[in-house]
Structures are given as structure tokens and as C-alpha cells.
Amino acid sequence: MISTRLVVDRDFVVSDLDRRIFGSFVEHLGRAVYTGIYEPGHPTADERGFRGDVMELTRELGPTIVRYPGGNFVSGYNWEDGVGPAADRPVRLDLAWASTETNQFGTNEFMEWCKATDIEPMWAVNLGTRGPDEAREFLEYCNHPGGTALSDLRKSHGVEAPHDIKFWCLGNEMDGPWQICSKTADEYGRIAHETAKLMRLVDPTIQLAACGSSQHNMPTYGKWEDTVLEHCFDDVDFISLHTYFENRGDSTPEFFGCIEQMDVSIKEIVAVADGVAARKHSTKRIMLSFDEWNVWYKARSINDLRKPGWPQAPRLLEEIYNTEDALVVGGALIVMMNNADRVKAACLAQLVNVIGPIMTEPGGPAWRQTIFYPFAQATRFAHGKVLRPVIESPSYEAKSHPEIPYLCACVVDDESTGTTTVFALNRHLTETMQLRVELRGLGTSRTLDHALALHHSNMKATNTKDAPNTVVPENNPHVQVDGETILAELKPGSWNVIVTTAQARR
């Protein structure tokens, strides 16, 4: 057994937790939309074609905001194709994923789905094949009350009230050579500036995110963000980050290093953004939108990325997640919460079928992948302020990161309810962890509400259509609360959630 210690104090706060960090992503890619969230004729589908079983699981998962319609798809997307009578919509070739797009699901359908699931939309505009004026027109269609050609066009499509979409992404991964009409940093910075200027003239209440570099290992990383923000610093609220964790050597301890690298990336991009602020003598702080992140390394073959013959809704990027993937996702959630002062939005990519926590069969069932559980527990229990953690833990050395503590943890405190939640990952694969948590100033009379653990002896265990409950959370009986102290035993290789409530605070 290894011994660890976690100390927090009510007076040492990282930040209020912005619940937008529990976002997700739906792209017109593979089966994310068609036979994912939308499947007319499915036994559970409603009159709009929305799969009821997927909506139920989405509500349980709890995403607060969902990014749409891409992704790589958006850089070749004409928004006009996805509005108006469905029978009149054009069928197009989707160059991003070598598929045929029927456009039967578009803007107003997605907004209806968001309302049905009580989710805020995050919308991306096409800055690949299109530009500032098309983005301006689309915003007017969506958000202007009425009395203009575009807002009245929306009304003629059966949507009387404006959608009032607040969060907009200025393109997607524009430095990636795979991106349709990719751009240099100067080219993109200029177009982001002009697009933001036009969009804010239409609706000054919106928030805008500029594209950061597509990956940490891109040659443009760091310099791209610096150049882009030099152009559009005054025009945007966020810079985006994207990362996909890969188990390159089939080693779980090495894989866990991705969690530390995510923390490093956050701090690096914060430094770049603040460097631009310093040059501009500005007190403004650019926030981070981690609007694509997940584990993805198995479904990466050519066959996973595209199919021949321009098929409709082919099976693409259908990653099957195992136990160790769920632990990494849990660790990533901890990292983002511990950086809540600058990470104000994030999107687990994606929601259904395509590298998603939810899987479906056309005409058949839907089920939870292993990564579903850490995310659902975080959205359920993480409310309030993130407290600054002080961690004492033995660590190990890996190629992916020089020093990896076995304990990865954060604490979120909801002063309004007296509830304090500890999220803890034991990265030791063979030793039980003895964890002592000191909740200083958070109340001496505490009750234990929940003690949950996600663990499986097989790191490669998965949930499938035929065995959907192979890896599921279980109660941890080895947790005790004594005043402001929690004593717990955490299984090797486990994600843990401990929720306590104080009756009174000093």
C-alpha cells in the first residue's frame, strides 16, 4: 500500500468552476448525427427523428454545451444547405470525410435537439471555403429578432424566435494541412479579426473563440497562437486547444503521462496568450477553450478515417474504449478543473459513435462506453469553486513525462450546499493507495454522501452491445470521514469520487 495526502483550504481557491468545461461535440462525421442522435424510424425516435435512447443517455452524461457542426466538416460546409424544407435541401459531397451529406439534419434540427436535451450550443463557422460575410449572414439568420431578409428567412422556416447562440468558434484547426483551405497564421489571424468584427456588429453579446494550433506536436504550436492573437487579441474571448491522447507503446504507466502533458499544454498556451497581452499593455486575459479532447489511438487506420464510394453515414472513428482509457479521461477532467482559472470551456470529442462515450446500433440499442462514467460523475458532482490542491504522493518516471505522481486529484467545493467533492485517480497499477484528505475550514461535522470507484482488474476490458456493464462504477466501502479529514483506500488503477457534506462551517 502506498500513502498519499491531499490538502485544501477554503481560502485558497483556483477559481469558480465554469460548467462549460463539461461540453461535448457533434460533427457531421461517420455516425455521430445519422443513426447517432438522429434516426427517424428508430423504435425510440420522436416525431422529429431524435433517438430517445440517445437523448436519455445524453442527459445522464450531462454535457452542458455541444460544439457543432464540426470539426473538419465545417471548413467545407455551406450553412444554407441545412435550413429550409428538408425535401428541398441539396445532397453534397463531404470532402473532409469522403462521405455523402444529405443535409436532412441541420441548423434548426440541431437547435431543437439542444432544447430537448437542455444543452447550450457552441457553433463553428466555416473559415475554410468561406469567410467573414458568410459568417455574418449565418449569425443574422440565427440571432436577429426579425425584419431583415435573413431573420425573416428563419421565420419562414418555422423558427419565430431567434436562436440566441452565444458561443461561436472562428473556424477549425486552420493550421492543419488536412484542413480544407488551411491557412498560415497571418492569413488566419487576419480573417479571424475581420470575421469577429463583422459578427460583433450583428450581435455584440456573443463570445468568440479563435483557433489555436491543432496539436501539441504541430510545428506551428506556440508560434501559431502568438501570431494569431497578435491579429485578433482584442476581438476574441478564447483561444482553442485540441488534443487526442494516444497509448503509443501499449503501456498503461506511459499512457498516464498524457495527463501531465495536458497540464503542460494549458500552461504553455496561457503563457503565450499572456505574452501577447504584455506586448499590447493589456489587462485583458484570453481564456482557453479545450474544444476537442479525448482518447483516440485505435480507430486511426485509413479504413477508420474514410470508406470508398462516398457512402452516407459510414462507420468512421468508432473507437472502442477500455478501462485505461476511462482512467485517462478522468485524469484529463481533473487537470482541466485544476486549471479552472483559465480553462472556461471544453468539449469531449465526440458524443455518439465517433470517438464517443455513447455507442449505438442502427435500429438497435445504445450503451455506455467506459469513458462515459468519469465524465458523467464530474458533470453530476462538480459544482462551485475549485480549491488549490497540495498533493504529497510518490511518483514514477516515464518516457512520456519525467515525473508522474501516482495520485492525481482535485477538490470542488459548493459553498451554497456545503458539499465538497474529491476526484482522485490512483495511477499505481498494483498497489492500493491510502489517501488522507484534509478539508481545512470546510466544516467539521460532515456526512459521507457518495464513495464511488471505477476499476477493473483488466485494463483492456470494454463495454459492448452484448456486455454493456463490464466496466461500471461501484461503491467503495473503504472511505471514512472524521471531521475535516477523509481517509480512503483506493484500488490500484482506479478513478474515484468522494462526496461529503458539511452541516455547518466555521
Rounded Cα distance, 132 and 129, in Å: 11
Q: Which of 172, 177, 206 is nearest to 191 (CA)?
A: 172
Of 109, 134, 137, 173, the active-site residue reads 173
d(CA 141, CA 146) in angstroms, rounded, equals: 9
Which residue type does 67 have? Answer: R
Q: Which residues pair with 470 in a beta bridge?
A: none
Nearest to 387 by CA among 122, 2, 12: 12
Q: How far apart are CA 423 and CA 331, in angstroms?
A: 9
Q: Is 112 assigned a catalytic role? A: no
Grid look-up 464530474 returns: 378
Nearest to 329 by CA among 413, 243, 400, 271: 243
Cell 495526502, residue located: 5
What the block records as the C-alpha cell of 66 is 455541444
Give me the amino acid identity at 466: D
Catalytic residue among 260, 292, 319, 324: 292
**173 counts as catalytic:** yes
Q: How far does CA 109 lie from the centroid of its chain? A: 21
N residues, the chain? 506
Q: How far is CA 31 from the centre of its chain?
A: 18
| Alpha-carbon 7 to chain mean position | 28
Judging by DSSP bridges, how do beta strands 23-25 and 343-349 pair with one another? parallel
DSSP 289: E
Let me know the angle formed at the C-alpha of 345 by 189 and 415, rounded to the nearest 5 degrees. Answer: 145
Contacts of 309 (CB under 8 A, 6+ apart): none
Amino acid in position 300: R
Residue at grid coordinates 440565427: 142
Instruction: Using the Cα atoms of residue 308, residue 313, residue 317 and residue 322 in order, give the sign of their dihedral.
Output: negative
Q: What percent of the chain is helix, strand and coil (3-state, nearest 5)?
A: 30, 30, 45
The residue behind cell 445524453 is 58
HEC sequence for 360-402: ECCCCCEEECCCHHHHHHHHHHCCCEEECCEEECCEECCCCCC
Sign, Cα dihedral of 463, 468, 470, 471: positive
- Amino acid 239 reads I
Residue type, 367: W
The H-or-E segment that residue 423 falls in is strand 419-426
Active site (catalytic) residues: 173, 292
